[in-house]
A = this chain, B = another copy of it.
Amino acid sequence: MDLTSATLDTDLTLDPKDWTDLRALGHRMLDDMMDYLENIREEPVWRPIPGAVKAFFDKEIPQHPENIEEIYDEFKRYILPYNKGNVHPRFFAFVQGTGTPFGVLAEMLAAALNPNVGIGEHASMYVDKQVVEWCKQMMNFPAEASGILLSGGSMANITALAVARNHQLGLDVRKSGLKAVDGQMTLYYSAETHSCMRKAAEVLGLGLEGVRQIPVDADYRINLEALEAAIQEDLAAGHLPFCIVGNAGTVNTGAIDPLDELRDIADRYKLWLHVDGAFGALAKLTPAYREPLKAIERADSVAFDLHKWMYMPYEVGVALVKYPQAHRDAFAVTPAYLSQEKRGLAGGPDPMNNFGMELSRGFKALKVWMSLKEHGLEKYARMIGQNIDQACYLGQLVDADPELELLAPVTMNIVCYRYVKPGLSEVELNELNREILIRLQEEGIASPSSTVLQGRFAIRVANVNQRSVKADFEVLARETVRIGREVGA
């Protein structure tokens, strides 16, 4: 308006006095990051962190300004070389996506605009809603379903379970709390289900005693007879079965629970069916998994991550719920300072915080919106298909090598295998494979992670990597054998 520059100069700000330097540094950072990603294949996938580097992160809080160039130099010296590695083509640990360079740029734009995407009339609310719609379309969920973008699978699963808990009770649990529930609410899922589901049950006040971990079959899928027996037993005991969780890709082996059968059982006992599809749900986009995963469409809610098998930068996951009113009823609250107007900033769509725990929400949707436009869904489907093919290829390499052994069927994108050497006990094999895994990482070759299957230590590959090529899996198999021989000798 009528503010003179003299006025501005007397006031403190965190903006730079001279934007030129900051801009120049920004351009250098951008070039460095693009160099880093373009040439990531030349880097070791992981390297140990020297003690001096760790000690660098053990300082008192800075009281006085430091030079921004020097801060960036420290970043390059102490942080960049010791990155986790999930940007690397031979990172296969846990289930962690690669991100993309265009996603990096989208995150920069989101940080510049910096909206809180919780409430109000502004573009990011519409982008967020558009992305939720697209997520529904990916899963073929009905148009009236609701959804919310969250930090990832854990938050998406707990959000959906909160809705299930409240909706199934037939009483106002938000008002009365769980004390008023006449009986023990019980939740059913397979023993192979992700630990975030247990955490959800604990946070929501159900307790582990309300959780029934159902055994799995030889393919790590939930045993339906055991499930139904457990439900009947609980009913006979006066408990309150309320929800079944099915897996669209278990974390250990990628197993897909028989979702159609779970739906039928859920219907029979009037239970909520939630599907944890953290990574696996997106395999539904590929021709091979369209049918096996079609039953996700019959679930009452589904959770999946976009930073896993959609290769978006962290963080972004989504929870979809078939019943928007039940979803809203679990979370909505409107204090005076958040009341909506018909016009102005406080207008706009139904606030997002009515559908989840968070009121502060960053502009996670932008990277999804931009990336889906960059590639189109059809390319994502092919990319996911390629990851599955690569996992099958690794499975074949393992199968063909007498020194390697598959520890579970290769389902989707997960391969659990080990190095074997005749004459070693199971305990010795476990120790040997643990050492092989660590050396694969320490030598910078590849980063699988591990799990334990029926007592056997497994080198575990979860492939949600958009940078991997077939030859990367050849390297992994070959180097596993080489290190196995060296360590075993």
Contacts and interface: CB of A to CB of B under 8 A. Distances in A.
Of A12, A175, A177, A252, most buried by chain B (CB within 10 Å of CB) is: A177
Interface residues of A, number: 193
Count of this chain's copies in the oligomeric assembly: 2
A294 interface: no
A383 B49 CA distance: 36
Contacts of A61: 133-134, 137-138, 372, 377
Given A30-B26, A175-B208, A375 B14 contact: yes
A48 B342 CA distance: 12
Contacts of A452: 336, 339
Contacts of A376: 62-66
A155 B358 contact: yes
Interface stretch (A96-104, A255-263, A398-406): A96-104
A116 B96 contact: yes
A101 B362 contact: no
Interface string A145-172: 0000001111100100010010000000
Given A305-B360, A345-B447, 6 more contacts: A80-B113, A177-B185, A177-B209, A195-B359, A198-B333, A204-B204
B203 A203 contact: yes
Contacts of A16: 101-102
Interface stretch (A83-91, A221-229, A417-425): A83-91
Contacts of A206: 177-178, 205
Given A57-B127, A101-B15, A111-B108, A177 B210 contact: yes
A475 interface: yes
B127 A79 contact: yes
B94 A116 contact: yes
Contact of A78 (B123, B137, B177): B123
A437 interface: yes
A482 interface: no
17 contacts: A3-B471, A7-B470, A13-B466, A30-B30, A57-B126, A61-B133, A61-B372, A79-B123, A83-B123, A99-B111, A101-B112, A107-B107, A107-B111, A158-B357, A177-B184, A195-B338, A314-B360
Contact of A162 (B62, B203, B471, B475): B203
A451 B337 contact: yes
Given A75-B370, A344-B438, A179 B177 contact: no
Contacts of A274: none
A449 B87 contact: no
A99 to B, nearest CB: 4
A295 interface: no
A450 B342 CA distance: 13
A207 to B, nearest CB: 2
Given A206-B205, A372-B61, A377-B63, A104 B108 contact: yes
- Top 3 nearest A-B pairs (CB, nearest first) are A205-B205, A177-B207, A152-B360
Given A22-B102, A376-B64, A122 B85 contact: yes
A270 interface: no
Contacts of A107: 107-108, 110-111
A175 B15 CA distance: 50
A2 B470 CA distance: 12
